[in-house]
């Protein structure tokens, strides 16, 4: 699976636009695809995440930590490198 900065920017924007304090968003890998799960009562949790079938590449804590970067650009850049590293680990295990 090829991870692009455009994908990461979309994930970051989804995360930054969330308003529900109790949500548990994550970015996950399942069945050859990378996606974002809102983990909220409004948007729900992605089925593979809910059923424990997905590999979590960035959990709520990771997203929160990166969101405190100085700029949105830094957030996206650091998240991109983190996701790339995690994706490599998952693909090596497969």
pLDDT tens-digit map of 6-42: 999 999 999 999 888 889 999 999 999 999 999 988 7
DSSP-H helix ranges across the chain: 5-16, 47-50, 60-67, 72-93
Question: What is the arithmetic mean of pLDDT over 84-89?
Answer: 96
Cβ atoms of 87 and 57 within 8 Å: the answer is: yes
Q: What pTM was estimated for this model as a whole?
A: 0.91
Q: Report the percent of the chain where pLDDT is more than 70.
A: 100
What are 62's two structure tokens? 């990771």
- Where exactly are the structural domains of the chain? 5-93
Residue 15 CB-half CA count within 13 A: 27
Q: Residue 56 gets which letter from DSSP? A: E
* DSSP helix/strand/coil, 15: helix
């Amino acid at each position: 699976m090829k991870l692009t900065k455009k994908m990461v920017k979309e994930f970051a924007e989804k995360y930054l636009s969330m308003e529900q304090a109790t949500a548990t968003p994550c970015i996950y890998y399942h069945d050859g695809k990378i996606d974002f799960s809102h983990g909220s009562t409004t948007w729900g949790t992605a089925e593979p995440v809910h059923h424990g079938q997905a590999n979590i590449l960035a959990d709520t804590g990771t997203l929160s930590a990166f969101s405190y970067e100085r700029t949105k650009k830094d957030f996206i850049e650091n998240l991109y490198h983190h996701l790339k590293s995690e994706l490599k680990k998952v693909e090596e295990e497969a």
